[in-house]
Amino acid sequence: MTTARDYAEVNPLFARSDEPGTAPRHHLPETGLNQEAAYRLVHDESMLDGNARLNLATFVTTWMDDSANRIYSEAFDKNAIDKDEYPQTAAIERYCWRMLADLWHAPDPADTIGTSTTGSSEACMLGGLALKRRWQQRRRAAGQGVDKPNLVMSSAVQVCWEKFCNYWDVEARFVPISLEHKVLDGFDLDKYCDENTIGVVAVMGVTYTGMYEPVAQIAAALDRLQQQTGLDIPIHVDAASGGMIAPFCQADLLWDFRLPRVASINTSGHKYGLVYPGLGWVVWRESSLLPDDLIFRVSYLGGDMPTFALNFSRPGAQILLQYYMFLRLGRAGYQRVQRGSLDVARFLARSIQGLGPFELWNDGSDIPVFAWSMAAGQDRGWNLYDLSDRLRMRGWQVPAYPMPDALQDLTVQRIVVRNGVTMDLADKLLGELRSAVAFLDAHGGPRGAGAAFHH
């Protein structure tokens, strides 16, 4: 006798009587589907996402090896906050941030403090909160007001810093970048800092262009300010990308805890830390720089668990993956991977410059990221948005966007090279770029509504 179950199994997929044509999107369905049909619906819809290998817009890891995938699948269910149930995941988290403290030259690795986070955004929030709380404590102890904190940074910071200032009522003071000062470099810094400045953010790997901000120069400008005014303003280094590039590829560059003014550093484990999305790190040069009253201790998971995080529950698997990568690659392996990406970035930058109509903003030699604009006097009847659209038609994501505030009339296009963007793939992209430029030269860009929309 044929059972209903057999019947479902012999029926062709996509053509069964219980196969829903469309999935509900705005209400929870009254009844469920069978496991396979539900899987198909979710799997097939997500297939319509872009192809990660052709996405040169993202910094985030899209490839890990099979052993990493095994660790991931063994740890899907681990909750990072549940340190009593998963004490070894908690211990591995500590190994990881201690290794980072050491990599970033913390003066006394035994007296640093750090934590994992969901990404650099959360890590920056925590770094910023520690700056704000320390400033408040200093001011209160001196009987001074604490109602007007400000944070000084470049106009090209990542949006997480604008969020930090907005969410935590801190005035954001942006030093505009310009053609003369392409990054925050200490110029005019004294005009932006005062007794209410909780800190200065220096970015190692500006999101818009990939350039490093010269942290040592910024620190020197703040040293001068301290000599003149007595103000002692700490630096938080947002090394979301550069924190895992500079130690391996620009080891002599002074940007980390070797500079006494650097109080805290964040990086994204899921960017050049080479782990799948969902992981950031923040480390303080010494534990006294993280005020104790920001740390919560909870007992309801068992034990006495200190936590400094915005979330409570979150996946623990990425922490294990980071430790796996540290063990798997070591310094030498990270150096090889990152150098490989830098080689591809520099090759692509040179070749794109050679195509003719473009001018490089930078050449991909800080982090493996670079941007370019249309060269002066190149009015070819199309722009970088048109070029981005043409590439998108072939599946490549190479975004074009305006630079921040004082330079917002300048449009740039950016490529992020990450592990997995091989020379071979770079060569194919160049082929696509050449044909896109030839097409646009021959036919012009889609002038009219589309172009108007872009500006």
Ligand X SMILES: Cc1ncc(COP(=O)(O)O)c(C=O)c1O
Task: Quickly list DSSP for 391-438.
Answer: HHHTT-B--EEEPPGGGTT-EEEEEE--TT--HHHHHHHHHHHHHHHH
| Mutual angle of helices 66-74 and 317-354, in 10-degree steps | 140
For ligand X, give the closer residue by CB, 59 or 334: 59
Q: What does DSSP assign to residue 50?
A: -
Cβ atoms of residues 195 and 189 within 8 Å: no
For ligand X, give the closer residue by CB, 121 or 413: 121
Can you give the three-state secondary structure of 257-294, one letter per residue?
A: CCCCCEEEEEEECCCCCCCCCCCEEEEECCHHHCCHHH
* Shortest Å, Cβ 239 to ligand X: 8
For ligand X, give the closer residue by CB, 131 or 433: 131
* Shortest Å, Cβ 119 to ligand X: 3
* Shortest Å, Cβ 433 to ligand X: 23
For ligand X, give the closer residue by CB, 120 or 341: 120
* Shortest Å, Cβ 270 to ligand X: 6
Cβ atoms of residues 255 and 267 within 8 Å: no
For ligand X, give the closer residue by CB, 241 or 388: 241
Cα(426)–Cα(352) distance, integer angstroms: 11
Which residues face 400 on adjacent strands?
A: 413
- Kindly report each contact of residues 437-441 with a partner whose C-beta sits within 8 Å and lies 24 or more positions away, as own/partner: 437/355, 437/356, 437/357, 437/387, 439/390, 440/380, 440/381, 440/382, 440/386, 440/387, 440/390, 441/380, 441/382
- Give the helix, strand, coil percentages of the chain, each rounded to 5: 40, 15, 45
Tokens standing for 105?
């030259």
For ligand X, give the closer residue by CB, 124 or 345: 124
* Shortest Å, Cβ 4 to ligand X: 47
* Shortest Å, Cβ 184 to ligand X: 12
Q: 3-class DSSP state for residue 167?
A: helix
* Shortest Å, Cβ 47 to ligand X: 24
Provide the 10 A C-beta neighbour count for residue 75: 17
For ligand X, give the closer residue by CB, 217 or 351: 217
Tokens standing for 312?
């409570």
Best CA proximity match to 412, nearest among 440, 383, 378, 371: 371
* Shortest Å, Cβ 207 to ligand X: 4
For ligand X, give the closer residue by CB, 417 or 440: 417
Cβ atoms of residues 342 and 160 within 8 Å: no
For ligand X, give the closer residue by CB, 405 or 427: 405
* Shortest Å, Cβ 263 to ligand X: 17
Best CA proximity match to 355, nearest among 416, 446, 443, 431: 431
Residue type, position 72, single letter = Y
Sites of contact with ligand X (CB under 6 A): 59, 119-121, 124, 158, 160, 203, 205, 207, 238, 240-241, 268, 280
* Shortest Å, Cβ 280 to ligand X: 5
For ligand X, give the closer residue by CB, 412 or 436: 412
